[in-house]
């Protein structure tokens, strides 16, 4: 096991499965203490046990991004146990069956429901945990976005996923990108770096495992952004091959 992240504390939301679990595994295998954020404490503990069986220092934190009480409780737990947070990966996200309709036919409740988790949930977690990130010598915030959040790519008829015009999901990830840019600008004079990661079309529960990329591949960009050096970028949008157009 690598030791280059020893002493670092990383919280990953929605980490009991999929890309979130793999991000936790990769960070943990490099020596970080990983906090498995999960809505269901049982599923979170199951994931943490699996990580611990691989000699990873994993702890479970009950955290539902749309329940401020659980976010506050998680913050208090982290402060009490570690006094800081070095890495925050906002991975938890949803996609709705009601989002498969043409944009003009999407029910407004589908839009609200998607934004509640994918946008407001991301912001709530960042806002609550920012004081702990400021106590790190080199805080890193990674927001899981998607290539579907790119306005440039959505406007390109030759884009690989040009037909994937899910109003709620795509626009929620566009909003996550905006949060990333604005927050990075606010924190530009601090040691905290904020970036958006596009994991690519990865096989997860979110897409009924239709993606052609593995979770190991999907975790490459988020892990890289979570472990940026002091001279790394902030306020950017990246996949594993580099910059993604806004």
Under the banding of pLDDT at 50, 70 and 90, the label for residue 209 is low
Beta-carbon contacts of residue 135 (< 8 Å; ≥ 6 apart): 83, 84, 85
Distance from C-alpha of 61 to C-alpha of 15, rounded to nearest angstrom:
10
Q: CA 136, CA 146: separation in Å to the nearest integer?
A: 27
Give which of 207, 234, 227, 195 is closest to 19, Cα–Cα: 207
115, 159, 169, 212: which one is catalytic? 169
pLDDT per residue over 139-193, tens digit each? 999 999 999 999 999 999 999 999 999 999 999 999 999 999 999 999 999 999 9
Structure tokens at 115: 């934004």
pTM above 0.75, yes or no: yes
Which ranges of the chain would DSSP assign to H, the alpha helix? 18-29, 41-52, 68-81, 108-115, 122-133, 151-154, 167-186, 215-218, 220-226
Sort strands 242-243 and 58-62 into parallel, antiparallel or unpaired.
Answer: unpaired
> Is the distance from CB of 48 to CB of 25 less than 8 angstroms?
no
With 0-12 CB in 10 A as exposed, 13-18 as middle and 19+ as buried, what is 104?
A: exposed
- DSSP per-residue codes, 192-240: -EEEEE---SB-SGGGTT--SB-HHHHTHHHHHHHT--TT---S-EEET
Contact 245, 150 (CB under 8 A): yes
Cα 150 to Cα 12, 15, 106, 153, 196: the distances in Å are 23, 25, 20, 5, 11
pLDDT tens per residue, range 63-103: 999 999 999 999 999 999 999 999 999 999 999 999 999 99
Q: What is the mean pLDDT of the chain?
A: 95
Residues ≥6 apart with Cβ < 8 Å to 134:
190, 192
Identify the band that residue 200 occupies on the pLDDT scale cut at 50, 70 and 90. Answer: confident
What is the Cα–Cα distance from 131 to 13, expressed in whole angstroms? 18
- The answer to whether 21 is a known catalytic residue is no
Q: Which two tokens stand for residue 180?
A: 């990333």
Please write the tens of the pLDDT for every residue from 14-66: 999 999 999 999 999 999 999 999 999 999 999 999 999 999 999 999 999 99
Residue 90 DSSP code: E
Nearest residue to 176 (alpha-carbon basis) of 125, 242, 220: 125
Greatest CA separation for the chain: 51
């Amino acid at each position: 096991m690598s030791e280059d992240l020893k002493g670092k504390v990383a919280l990953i939301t929605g980490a009991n499965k999929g890309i979130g679990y793999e991000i936790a595994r990769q960070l943990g295998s490099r020596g970080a203490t990983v906090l498995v954020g999960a809505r269901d404490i049982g599923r979170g503990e199951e994931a943490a046990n699996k990580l611990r069986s691989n000699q990873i220092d994993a702890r479970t934190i009950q955290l539902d991004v749309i329940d401020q009480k659980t976010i506050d409780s998680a913050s208090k737990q982290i402060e009490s146990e570690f006094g800081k947070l070095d890495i925050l990966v906002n991975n938890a996200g949803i996609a709705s069956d009601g989002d498969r309709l043409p944009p003009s036919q999407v029910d407004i409740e589908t839009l609200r429901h998607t934004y509640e988790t994918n946008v407001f949930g991301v912001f709530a977690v960042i806002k609550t945990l920012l004081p702990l990130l400021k106590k790190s010598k080199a805080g890193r915030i990674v927001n899981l976005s998607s290539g579907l959040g790119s306005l440039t790519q959505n406007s390109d008829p030759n884009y690989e996923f040009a037909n994937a015009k899910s109003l709620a999901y795509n626009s929620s990830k566009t909003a996550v990108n905006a949060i990333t840019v604005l927050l990075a600008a606010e924190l530009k004079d601090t040691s905290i770096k904020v970036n958006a990661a596009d994991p690519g079309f990865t096989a997860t529960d979110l897409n009924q495992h239709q993606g052609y990329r593995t979770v190991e591949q999907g975790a490459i960009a988020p892990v890289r952004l979570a472990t940026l050096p002091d001279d790394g970028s902030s306020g950017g949008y990246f996949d594993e091959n580099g910059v993604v157009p806004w």
